[in-house]
Structure 1
Amino acid sequence: MNPFSPVRAPGGRPLLACALVGVALAVTSIGMELTDAEPHLVMWVGVGAGALFLAALPLARGVGDDALTLRAGLLIGAGAGAVLAVIGLWRATGRDQPVVLLLLVPSLLLLITAALAVREARLAAHARRMKQLRARLQGQEDERRRWAQELHDQTLQDLAALELWLASLSRTHDPDRLAAGVEDARGMVHEQIGVLRHLITQMRPLALDTLGLRAAVQDLAHRAEGEVTVACDVERLPAGLPPDTQVAIYRIVQEALSNAVQHAHCHRIAVRATNDGSQLVVTVRDDGRGLPDPASGDAPSTSFGRIGMRERAESLGAHLTWSTPEGGGTMVTLRVPEAARPHS
């Protein structure tokens, strides 16, 4: 079996089997009703269809829009099975107006409720998409503002200073002072080249486009080394991941490394990727001071950087957690499901 095969439904194959058999029984019950088949048989086939749809409900896991719509659809199927069962029972009684018709009322209410649930799920999904779009646009504006501030405060100011320095050199007639000044100017230009390269890498890592996610994460770990030691074991990162998945994993690791280096007061950081056959697990662990106190205002739920990390994970349908492992420190764990990984 190919471990990268796509998941057909949030509950996998058991859910798919229950739903398909339920649909088959419901269609069979309708056909039997149209052909005046034995009423008790029609009733039990309808009961079986409704029971299968209800049995599939606990298997429809997840909180996404697709999962909510699927559960509402299963409720509609269960209601349809109940209606078919009641019709079969009605015919089996042999009465013109049996009391059993009262059972149609809750069955129809179930159908109406499920239909309304589908509508509400779609409206909620639309509202979430609009909110995410607004947040994304705001994030882009904030990012542009940050780059503009960075360029203005550092690069532009340094280039202006370089211009003044070159202007002063143009008026000198001392060969030694001119040579020293040119050397200083070269150093300033070299420094600005490094700053611009860093900014470009922050905006879009070249290694991610040219060498792939594995090399890009290894480059992140290498650049984070200095006052801390970074161990990087990401050989299990699969090749051929979708571009959005690569970017999300890269940015999450980047932010986790940045938080560890700047705020954790740690000495060692370990970046690791594993694959347990059902999901890709990427961890960033440090030996620092551990998770911040929620009362400090720097908890994972309130930090802007961590909010961005969580939003990137949610965009993949992945699960992101912060924990304090045995031995102290902080571990950031990203669990990427099969659906976001490469398909054969």
Structure 2
Amino acid sequence: MDGILHPFGSAGRTGRRWSSPFGRRRERPTGYLADDAPAPGGVRLQLNALQALCRQAFAVRLAAIAIGAPFAMTNATDGLPRYGVLAAAVLGVMGSYAMLRDWDRFGPRLLAHPTLMALDLTFGAVLLLTASPASPLAYATVCTPLLSGLLYGWRGAGVFTGLQFIVLLTVFRAWEHRPGAGANTLLVAGFCIGAGIIGVTLRNLMFRFGTASQALSEATSRLAVAEAVDSERARLAREMHDSVAKTLHGLALAAEALAASADGADPVALKRQATVVADAARIAAAESRTLLSDLRRHTDLTDPDTDVLPELRSMTSDFEARTRIAVVVRHRGANPVLPGTAAHHVLAIVSEALENAHRHAGASAVTVELDVSAHEFSLHVRDDGVGLPTPATPATLAAWTRSGHFGLLGMTERAACVGGLLALDRSSRGGTEVRLTLPLPSAALPSPPTPQEEAAHA
């Protein structure tokens, strides 16, 4: 539709070429015609709104012709003039009704062939010449500049408004003897000018709004893609830090121990350290495969709900066996059943807190507490280590991240991913305390077991 909206000739060699959906190329108007806004590509909302306005204009024109045709028939003389007026009225009504009822079929033809608009103007001229400028048919002529402005822009509005002025002048000469003919003609001429300006203004406003909306939509899409890429990069960084990076760090420590024990040449120690290195390498390979599988799976799959408590007990048992640090798990309230993604992030936060207690705090005991209420999931991890060197503020967190310590940042990001809140502080025993609070819908929590169910289970 956009290329046909300037069908009146070329703007000269200085104009820019632009394409038409009907296969032709037009010159982009220059000078005062450069204010014509091209139709935005790919935005149908503004084009549909413009078509609706055109159909409404044809509806008004149809009503005006239907009301004013009897005036023309009354003033027409018998014989051929009466049949001519009747034919003009029928053709004018049929044309307006066809545009109103089936715009999708006839609208493109009107856009491609502006001479059809001139033919419709001729029918209106015949009726107006017979009916007088004081009849309702005079106001049907106002629709022609309005439609030309909506469809063809400034050039079309100027051409058809000029033709309409010629028709009005001819009608005035034929009816100047009638009182009020001059005033009515002048009034309709003013309406024609205003209608043409309004049509072009509405057309340009719609197209410029469509272009701006399209640009805003594209910018929003680019921002959404960039945000998704950043989010995925952060997720990969967290997963690698909490899985492969930790395993490789343990593998490096085991390799150093193997190198140190090689000096004594104790076969038993060498075999034990080599087994540790091999196990760490296999774990790293398994974690890498898991990470790659997670990248390749469909993102629309929903993970099933997970009971956090058994997974947490299994994790702490493995940690206790590996580090010889005592871990106590306490649970209050309902069963901590969370969506799969939320459970994954909660377990990863606990794992990171345990590893920090082992590597950095020098702790000998860790306590993990779960408290599940009707609307909140609460997790506390406390150790008896040396505690944080400085209070965990956003500034200190950024400083630790710049120095290469990404664990606390990953914990904070994981809490944000599930809509929770993470707090790091010194515990009352002097160690470090990690607190995670996660709001939960009450319907998602299973009801706590009754005393009878507990007795039956026992």
Scaled to the shorter chain, the TM-score interval is 0.3 to 0.5
> Normalising to structure 2: TM-score of the pair?
0.35
**Structure number, greater radius of gyration:** 2
Flag the structure with more relative contact order, 1 or 2, with Cα contacts below 8 A and sequence separation at least 6: 1
> Normalising to structure 1: TM-score of the pair?
0.45
